C-alpha cells in the first residue's frame, strides 16, 4: 500500500445509552465508516486516503465527527448523505465543505 496523501479520522466512540455526553457511536458512526469505505473504493481513492476509526475526538454533541488531515478540517454531524460531497469537494477537489465545518464555538 502506498503512503496515503490524506488521513480521515471518524469518531466511533460508543458510550452507554443515556450517557450525558452522548457518543458518535449512537449517532451511526459504524454505518458511516462502512459507507465511507465503500464510497472511497468506488471513487478509486483507497490508495490515497487512509480511513481510520478513532475514539472520542472531543465535542460529542456534534457527532458524528470527522477530522481530515492535512489541514485539520473538522466536520460535524456527518451522515452518509454528506459523504459524496466530502469525497468530491474535499478529497478530490481540495475544497472544504464549509456548511459541515464545526465552528470554533463548539470548543467553548
pLDDT value at 94 more than 80: yes
- Give start and end residues of each alpha helix (H) in 1-108: 29-42, 83-85
Residue 104's pLDDT is what? 85
What percentage of the chain carries pLDDT values higher than 90?
71
pLDDT value at 18 more than 90: no
User: What is d(CA 82, CA 49) in angstroms, rounded to the nearest whole number?
Assistant: 17
Q: What angle do CA 63, 38, 5 make, to 5 degrees?
A: 80
What percentage of the chain carries pLDDT values higher than 70?
97
pTM of the predicted model as reported, rounded to 2 decimal places: 0.92
- Confidence category of residue 108, pLDDT binned at 50, 70, 90: low
- Confidence category of residue 19, pLDDT binned at 50, 70, 90: confident
Domains and CATH numbers, the chain: 6-107 (3.40.30.10)
What mean pLDDT comes out for the span 7-31?
A: 90
Amino acid at each position: 500500500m502506498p503512503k496515503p496523501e490524506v488521513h480521515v479520522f471518524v469518531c466511533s466512540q460508543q458510550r452507554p445509552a443515556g450517557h450525558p455526553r452522548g457518543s458518535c457511536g449512537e449517532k451511526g458512526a459504524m454505518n458511516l465508516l462502512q459507507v465511507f469505505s465503500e464510497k472511497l473504493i468506488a471513487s478509486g481513492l483507497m490508495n490515497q486516503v487512509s480511513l481510520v476509526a478513532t475514539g472520542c475526538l472531543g465535542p460529542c454533541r456534534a457527532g458524528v465527527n470527522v477530522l481530515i488531515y492535512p489541514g485539520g478540517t473538522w466536520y460535524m454531524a456527518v451522515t452518509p448523505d454528506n459523504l459524496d460531497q466530502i469525497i468530491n469537494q474535499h478529497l478530490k477537489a481540495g475544497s472544504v465543505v464549509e456548511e459541515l465545518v464545526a465552528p470554533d464555538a463548539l470548543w467553548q
